[in-house]
Chain A
């Protein structure tokens, strides 16, 4: 066979392959177009909403799927396509979808402030349906629904941190249970008394970070920077801030806590000290309502009290709610609103309260909680009345960036690399860098 014939034969094969590929593409396109037409025809009857969610201590997958089913039964023209994903994957997917404006969900958690501009404003829908927003706890309505003067979501559930104490360990050590007006000094003293290093029992955990409720309880000037987000000086290094760091210093040297490495290895990711507490190794731990309900299930003998503060000073709480919103790119805003107001309204939250571990953000529903008369539930609901740290955090999005820049001082105290008297100088030294970080962060993250 000559080279020329070989060449022609090869070309014929190539042509055949090319035609086959074109044919396959054509068939695929025709099939896809047909599918789309079918979907469009079906859409006239029912609308399918895409609902992105995750599972947690408060609402597991089964209860959420069951809730969606109940909604579909009462709303036959709306179908819910629930897509469950891990929190980290959820954040990446949301950021990509919202940033590109393509492929976002109809309804989902808007859990990151950076996403707020992409949520659909709900004020007109609320007004149109005369939806009663006063049913929600005021603190969460203020902190978890508003952005730029508009209502962009509804608050689902409430959560808060508080101190859970192991009554058995307290009784064993002959220590009185803490009360609501207890101070940070009381906390240290109790932790020391409850600790029993020989039995590997500790009084309390090591805090994970500063500038949370206990820090704020040290005074109004104990903030990362000024309320107008302009000045770090006088806030990060204020006398109250110094006092808070010194208190942490004393805690680390009290002998009442596990070592830093024990805390890291014996605590599961994001659960904080719950494992140690549940194992009866911690007298006190800063936990939340999900942990509290697990302790009830385990039959633990425990009490609940708010975080300690200064005598007579204002008390803060790390409390949260999850804002559920409609993506501004949703093609079905009316149906999405129907689902949203049911899901985050009394019906949906009651369902998740009765069938999972959700504490509703609606007072009238919370009162129907099956153990509402129990001490621990009363204690939890009382904590919600304190001023929420989220009010400051929510209006100062640069806070986390500034805080991450000052973490070295936290490490130095934990690792015993400085003395107590160095704390003031260390705080003063952090101010210039923190000020620069604040100014840079404001450009990208806002005030």
Chain B
């Protein structure tokens, strides 16, 4: 009797909980689950939006993997971009956060200044970099010229174009540094005091305390920034248009052209699902390796 009353209350509370979260649930179903489901369906069709989709089975995927060199080129270029850009964001972000964590006067001002680039629109940043790296009159080549170095063509050179776009990641480290900063400030100062009493130097404290306790933040940054890097688009769309010689023809640019310029929507759906699969695969891999290098406070490694 008591048990059945208890379960009735539980059931009622469960229903109440679902009622309370139903606005979010309905939104999630309509704006997330449905579009994803439709995208999966459309990836097996030939569809130009204006006409009803025609079911073609795996043909989009077969064409993509066996006959479409642009797919492989864009995947290669995007992967290379991730490899070049991710370390810049992760390492420079950490170095900047360490500097911004120092106890000196006017630090809040520095923190604000370094974060400003993160709130500027991507298109404006792209235009700025176009001028900075302009080969003939740009600031970078003008400075190089002063010390007797002839600068490369940057965005207009097939060899330098991708590294140039990747180097723009420096602009994003302010946002990354803020997250690191939060992680750094969560490290208990007593640990450093204890280490100092035990005779540990700064380097030891950094590698034995800071880095291990920062690994959850590093792990978070790695996942988030990797996803962001795979989604690179604006730089190529605004500056290089994918060129020269498709050196910056990123995956999302190809997806955009197929889906929104050629209205090859079925194929574009297949393209985006492959990208989602690649990102998920990479995320799962990083997550799997995290057991070996991410340390959570209170975690008992011995057990």
Name A's B-contacting residues (CB within 8 A).
7, 11, 14, 18, 91-92, 95, 98-99, 114-115, 117-118, 259-262, 264-265, 400-401, 404-405, 407-408, 411-412, 414-415, 417, 433, 436, 440-441, 443-445
**Beta-carbon contact of B263 and A95 below 8 Å:** yes
Taking CB atoms and an 8 Å cut-off, the chain B residues in 188-238 that contact chain A are none
**Beta-carbon contact of B70 and A415 below 8 Å:** no
Among residues of B, the one whose C-beta sits closest to the C-beta of A88 is: B260
**Beta-carbon contact of B67 and A436 below 8 Å:** yes
**Beta-carbon contact of B134 and A261 below 8 Å:** yes
Say whether, besides A7-B9, A408-B245, A444 and B48 are in contact (CB < 8 Å): yes
**Beta-carbon contact of B12 and A11 below 8 Å:** yes
17 further A-B pairs in the complex, CB-CB below 8 A; given A11-B16, A261-B156, A411-B158: A18-B19, A92-B260, A98-B49, A98-B50, A114-B49, A114-B50, A261-B155, A264-B155, A412-B245, A414-B244, A417-B158, A433-B69, A441-B264, A444-B46, A444-B262, A445-B48, A445-B263
- The reply to whether the CB of B130 lies closer than 8 angstroms to some CB of chain A is yes
A18 to B12, CA, bound (A): 14
A259 to B155, CA, bound (A): 13
- The reply to whether the CB of B63 lies closer than 8 angstroms to some CB of chain A is yes
- The reply to whether the CB of B183 lies closer than 8 angstroms to some CB of chain A is no
Residues of A close to B156: CB separation below 8 A: 259-261, 264, 415
Residues of B close to A264: CB separation below 8 A: 130, 155-156
Residues of A close to B263: CB separation below 8 A: 95, 114, 444-445
Kindly identify which residue among A115, A411, A441, A443 contacts B245, using a CB–CB cutoff of 8 Å: A411
- The reply to whether the CB of B135 lies closer than 8 angstroms to some CB of chain A is yes
- The reply to whether the CB of B21 lies closer than 8 angstroms to some CB of chain A is no
Kindly identify which residue among A92, A115, A401, A411 contacts B243, using a CB–CB cutoff of 8 Å: A411
A92 to B260, CA, bound (A): 8
Among residues of A, the one whose C-beta sits closest to the C-beta of B243 is: A411
Count A-B pairs with CB separation below 8 Å. Answer: 83
Q: Which 8 A-B pairs have the closest CB atoms?
A: A99-B49, A261-B156, A411-B244, A114-B263, A411-B245, A261-B135, A444-B264, A265-B134
**Beta-carbon contact of B246 and A261 below 8 Å:** no
- The reply to whether the CB of B136 lies closer than 8 angstroms to some CB of chain A is yes
A99 to B156, CA, bound (A): 38
- The reply to whether the CB of B72 lies closer than 8 angstroms to some CB of chain A is no
A433 to B261, CA, bound (A): 20
Among residues of A, the one whose C-beta sits closest to the C-beta of B47 is: A444
A11 to B19, CA, bound (A): 13
Chain B proximity of A392: nearest CB distance (Å): 18
A261 to B141, CA, bound (A): 13
Chain A proximity of B67: nearest CB distance (Å): 7
The interface bits of chain B over 237-270 (1 if a CB of A lies within 8 angstroms of the residue's CB, else 0) are 0000001111000000000010011111011000
A436 to B70, CA, bound (A): 13
**Beta-carbon contact of A415 and B158 below 8 Å:** yes
Residues of B close to A18: CB separation below 8 A: 19
**Beta-carbon contact of B49 and A95 below 8 Å:** yes
Kindly identify which residue among B19, B50, B63 contacts A115, using a CB–CB cutoff of 8 Å: B50
Chain A proximity of B294: nearest CB distance (Å): 38
Chain B proximity of A59: nearest CB distance (Å): 25
**Beta-carbon contact of B46 and A262 below 8 Å:** no
**Beta-carbon contact of B245 and A99 below 8 Å:** no
**Beta-carbon contact of B136 and A117 below 8 Å:** no
- The reply to whether the CB of B153 lies closer than 8 angstroms to some CB of chain A is yes
A433 to B19, CA, bound (A): 56
The interface bits of chain B over 15-30 (1 if a CB of A lies within 8 angstroms of the residue's CB, else 0) are 0100110000000000
Residue among B16, B67, B158, B262 with the highest chain A CB neighbour number at 10 A: B262
Residues of B close to A11: CB separation below 8 A: 12, 16
Residues of A close to B12: CB separation below 8 A: 11
Chain B proximity of A255: nearest CB distance (Å): 15
- The reply to whether the CB of B110 lies closer than 8 angstroms to some CB of chain A is no
A443 to B261, CA, bound (A): 16
Kindly identify which residue among B50, B63, B243 contacts A117, using a CB–CB cutoff of 8 Å: B50
Residue among B48, B131, B266 with the highest chain A CB neighbour number at 10 A: B48
Among residues of A, the one whose C-beta sits closest to the C-beta of B157 is: A415
> Can you pick out 12 interface pairs between chain A and chain B where the beta carbons lie within 8 Å of each other?
A98-B50, A115-B50, A117-B50, A259-B156, A264-B156, A400-B261, A401-B262, A411-B158, A411-B244, A412-B245, A440-B63, A444-B267
A201 to B118, CA, bound (A): 39
- The reply to whether the CB of B51 lies closer than 8 angstroms to some CB of chain A is yes
A14 to B263, CA, bound (A): 49
A404 to B243, CA, bound (A): 11
Residues of A close to B262: CB separation below 8 A: 400-401, 441, 444-445
Chain A proximity of B18: nearest CB distance (Å): 12
**Beta-carbon contact of A262 and B136 below 8 Å:** yes
The interface bits of chain B over 121-156 (1 if a CB of A lies within 8 angstroms of the residue's CB, else 0) are 000000000110011110000000000000001111
